[in-house]
Amino acid sequence: MIRKSPTILLVEDDVENRNAMAKILQSAAYDVVEMDNGQSALGHILENDIDILVTDLRLPVMDGVELLKRAKAAHQEIEVILITGYGTVEVAAEAIKEGAYDFITKPIKKAQLLRTVEKAAERQYLSRENRELRPQLTGGSNSRRLIYVSSEMRNIARMAPSCTLTVSLAEIPVDAMSASKTTSSSVRLSGIFARLAWALGTKTYSA
Protein backbone atom coordinates (compact mmCIF):
# COMPACT_ATOMS: atom_id res chain seq x y z
CA MET A 1 0.00 0.00 0.00
CA ILE A 2 1.44 3.36 -1.07
CA ARG A 3 1.33 5.85 1.77
CA LYS A 4 0.22 9.33 0.78
CA SER A 5 0.17 12.54 2.76
CA PRO A 6 -3.30 12.88 4.36
CA THR A 7 -5.68 15.57 3.18
CA ILE A 8 -6.91 17.62 6.12
CA LEU A 9 -10.09 19.66 6.24
CA LEU A 10 -9.65 22.44 8.79
CA VAL A 11 -12.89 24.04 9.98
CA GLU A 12 -12.67 27.15 12.17
CA ASP A 13 -14.61 30.41 11.94
CA ASP A 14 -11.87 32.44 13.64
CA VAL A 15 -9.73 33.48 10.67
CA GLU A 16 -6.61 34.18 12.74
CA ASN A 17 -6.70 30.82 14.51
CA ARG A 18 -7.52 28.97 11.28
CA ASN A 19 -4.66 30.56 9.38
CA ALA A 20 -2.22 29.81 12.21
CA MET A 21 -3.20 26.14 12.31
CA ALA A 22 -3.13 25.85 8.53
CA LYS A 23 0.44 27.16 8.43
CA ILE A 24 1.51 24.66 11.10
CA LEU A 25 0.00 21.73 9.19
CA GLN A 26 1.27 22.89 5.81
CA SER A 27 4.78 23.23 7.24
CA ALA A 28 4.55 19.49 8.02
CA ALA A 29 3.68 18.78 4.35
CA TYR A 30 -0.03 18.15 4.90
CA ASP A 31 -2.53 19.10 2.22
CA VAL A 32 -4.91 21.49 4.00
CA VAL A 33 -8.36 22.71 2.94
CA GLU A 34 -9.87 25.54 5.01
CA MET A 35 -13.55 26.14 5.78
CA ASP A 36 -15.31 28.55 8.13
CA ASN A 37 -18.61 26.75 8.86
CA GLY A 38 -19.94 23.24 9.36
CA GLN A 39 -22.42 23.19 6.50
CA SER A 40 -19.83 24.07 3.86
CA ALA A 41 -17.42 21.57 5.42
CA LEU A 42 -19.98 18.77 5.19
CA GLY A 43 -20.64 19.56 1.53
CA HIS A 44 -16.93 19.37 0.83
CA ILE A 45 -16.62 16.04 2.65
CA LEU A 46 -19.47 14.55 0.63
CA GLU A 47 -17.85 15.52 -2.65
CA ASN A 48 -14.14 15.04 -1.93
CA ASP A 49 -11.68 12.59 -0.42
CA ILE A 50 -10.89 13.93 3.06
CA ASP A 51 -8.72 11.88 5.41
CA ILE A 52 -8.75 13.95 8.58
CA LEU A 53 -11.27 16.52 9.78
CA VAL A 54 -9.99 19.08 12.28
CA THR A 55 -12.92 21.14 13.48
CA ASP A 56 -13.86 23.57 16.20
CA LEU A 57 -16.82 22.57 18.33
CA ARG A 58 -18.48 25.95 18.01
CA LEU A 59 -19.23 26.77 14.40
CA PRO A 60 -21.86 28.81 12.57
CA VAL A 61 -24.69 26.99 10.72
CA MET A 62 -23.67 23.52 11.99
CA ASP A 63 -21.64 22.85 15.13
CA GLY A 64 -18.68 20.51 15.38
CA VAL A 65 -20.56 17.63 17.00
CA GLU A 66 -23.21 17.57 14.28
CA LEU A 67 -20.50 17.83 11.64
CA LEU A 68 -18.72 14.90 13.29
CA LYS A 69 -21.83 12.72 13.19
CA ARG A 70 -22.64 13.49 9.56
CA ALA A 71 -19.05 13.15 8.41
CA LYS A 72 -18.79 9.72 10.06
CA ALA A 73 -22.11 8.67 8.57
CA ALA A 74 -20.84 9.61 5.11
CA HIS A 75 -17.30 8.25 5.45
CA GLN A 76 -16.70 5.94 8.40
CA GLU A 77 -12.93 5.99 7.92
CA ILE A 78 -12.53 9.75 8.27
CA GLU A 79 -10.68 10.63 11.47
CA VAL A 80 -12.09 13.61 13.37
CA ILE A 81 -10.15 15.83 15.75
CA LEU A 82 -12.15 18.37 17.73
CA ILE A 83 -10.93 21.74 18.93
CA THR A 84 -12.47 23.01 22.15
CA GLY A 85 -12.21 25.79 24.70
CA TYR A 86 -11.46 24.96 28.32
CA GLY A 87 -15.12 25.24 29.28
CA THR A 88 -16.34 22.55 26.87
CA VAL A 89 -14.09 19.59 27.66
CA GLU A 90 -17.09 17.53 28.78
CA VAL A 91 -18.79 18.10 25.43
CA ALA A 92 -15.64 17.07 23.60
CA ALA A 93 -15.36 13.89 25.66
CA GLU A 94 -18.95 13.04 24.75
CA ALA A 95 -18.14 13.67 21.09
CA ILE A 96 -15.39 11.04 21.27
CA LYS A 97 -18.12 8.53 22.03
CA GLU A 98 -19.69 9.56 18.73
CA GLY A 99 -16.53 8.57 16.88
CA ALA A 100 -14.11 11.47 17.26
CA TYR A 101 -10.48 10.37 17.37
CA ASP A 102 -9.34 12.99 19.89
CA PHE A 103 -9.69 16.60 20.91
CA ILE A 104 -7.25 19.40 21.57
CA THR A 105 -7.82 22.47 23.70
CA LYS A 106 -7.28 26.14 23.00
CA PRO A 107 -4.94 27.92 22.83
CA ILE A 108 -3.56 25.57 20.18
CA LYS A 109 0.04 24.50 20.62
CA LYS A 110 2.05 23.53 17.57
CA ALA A 111 3.50 20.32 19.06
CA GLN A 112 0.12 19.13 20.31
CA LEU A 113 -1.60 19.79 16.99
CA LEU A 114 1.06 17.99 14.96
CA ARG A 115 1.26 15.05 17.36
CA THR A 116 -2.51 14.51 17.38
CA VAL A 117 -2.81 14.75 13.60
CA GLU A 118 0.14 12.39 13.12
CA LYS A 119 -1.41 9.77 15.40
CA ALA A 120 -4.76 10.07 13.64
CA ALA A 121 -3.05 9.66 10.26
CA GLU A 122 -1.18 6.58 11.50
CA ARG A 123 -4.36 5.00 12.79
CA GLN A 124 -6.14 5.61 9.50
CA TYR A 125 -3.24 4.21 7.47
CA LEU A 126 -3.14 1.01 9.52
CA SER A 127 -6.89 0.61 9.28
CA ARG A 128 -6.82 0.90 5.50
CA GLU A 129 -3.83 -1.40 5.22
CA ASN A 130 -5.59 -4.07 7.27
CA ARG A 131 -8.70 -3.76 5.12
CA GLU A 132 -6.70 -4.21 1.93
CA LEU A 133 -4.76 -7.19 3.28
CA ARG A 134 -7.81 -9.03 4.64
CA PRO A 135 -9.02 -10.33 1.24
CA GLN A 136 -5.53 -11.70 0.54
CA LEU A 137 -5.50 -13.61 3.81
CA THR A 138 -8.95 -15.06 3.21
CA GLY A 139 -8.38 -15.81 -0.46
CA GLY A 140 -10.91 -13.19 -1.45
CA SER A 141 -13.69 -14.98 0.37
CA ASN A 142 -15.44 -14.31 3.65
CA SER A 143 -15.90 -18.04 4.33
CA ARG A 144 -13.49 -19.76 6.67
CA ARG A 145 -11.80 -22.94 5.47
CA LEU A 146 -11.82 -25.70 8.04
CA ILE A 147 -9.59 -28.77 7.89
CA TYR A 148 -11.35 -31.64 9.62
CA VAL A 149 -9.80 -34.78 10.99
CA SER A 150 -12.59 -37.00 12.19
CA SER A 151 -16.32 -37.50 12.40
CA GLU A 152 -16.32 -35.47 15.63
CA MET A 153 -14.70 -32.52 13.88
CA ARG A 154 -17.06 -32.90 10.92
CA ASN A 155 -20.03 -32.69 13.26
CA ILE A 156 -18.60 -29.55 14.84
CA ALA A 157 -18.08 -28.01 11.42
CA ARG A 158 -21.66 -28.69 10.41
CA MET A 159 -22.74 -26.43 13.26
CA ALA A 160 -20.94 -23.53 11.51
CA PRO A 161 -22.54 -23.11 8.05
CA SER A 162 -20.10 -20.36 7.05
CA CYS A 163 -17.18 -22.79 7.13
CA THR A 164 -16.05 -24.72 4.07
CA LEU A 165 -14.82 -28.26 4.68
CA THR A 166 -11.79 -28.91 2.51
CA VAL A 167 -9.37 -31.60 3.59
CA SER A 168 -9.78 -34.82 5.56
CA LEU A 169 -6.90 -35.88 7.77
CA ALA A 170 -8.53 -39.11 8.89
CA GLU A 171 -5.65 -41.18 7.56
CA ILE A 172 -2.99 -39.42 9.63
CA PRO A 173 -1.58 -41.92 12.16
CA VAL A 174 -2.40 -40.91 15.70
CA ASP A 175 0.74 -42.62 17.02
CA ALA A 176 2.77 -40.15 14.97
CA MET A 177 1.92 -37.62 17.66
CA SER A 178 2.05 -40.13 20.53
CA ALA A 179 -1.62 -39.51 21.21
CA SER A 180 -3.09 -40.93 24.41
CA LYS A 181 -5.17 -44.12 24.24
CA THR A 182 -7.61 -42.78 26.82
CA THR A 183 -11.26 -42.46 25.87
CA SER A 184 -11.67 -39.09 27.58
CA SER A 185 -13.49 -36.73 25.18
CA SER A 186 -11.25 -33.80 26.11
CA VAL A 187 -8.11 -35.80 25.37
CA ARG A 188 -9.58 -37.11 22.10
CA LEU A 189 -10.19 -33.51 21.05
CA SER A 190 -6.60 -32.63 21.97
CA GLY A 191 -5.46 -35.53 19.81
CA ILE A 192 -7.43 -34.14 16.92
CA PHE A 193 -5.69 -30.78 17.14
CA ALA A 194 -2.32 -32.48 17.63
CA ARG A 195 -2.79 -34.44 14.42
CA LEU A 196 -3.88 -31.27 12.68
CA ALA A 197 -0.70 -29.52 13.81
CA TRP A 198 1.38 -32.48 12.63
CA ALA A 199 -0.25 -32.34 9.20
CA LEU A 200 0.38 -28.61 8.86
CA GLY A 201 3.97 -28.95 9.95
CA THR A 202 3.52 -26.76 13.02
CA LYS A 203 5.49 -27.34 16.19
CA THR A 204 2.71 -26.54 18.62
CA TYR A 205 -1.02 -26.09 18.50
CA SER A 206 -3.18 -25.25 21.46
CA ALA A 207 -6.90 -25.97 21.48
Residue 202, pLDDT above cutoff 80: no
pTM: predicted TM-score of the whole model, two decimal places: 0.63
What is the C-alpha separation between 138 and 173, in angstroms, rounded? 29
95 CB-contact burial (10 Å; exposed 0-12 / middle 13-18 / buried 19+)? buried
Query: Which of the pair, 74 or 96, is modelled with greater confidence?
Result: 74
- Per-residue model confidence as pLDDT tens digits over 65-88: 999 999 999 998 899 999 988 767
Beta strands per DSSP E along the chain:
7-11, 31-35, 52-56, 79-84, 102-105, 144-148, 163-168
| More reliable by pLDDT, 138 or 127 | 127
Percent of the chain with pLDDT over 90: 44
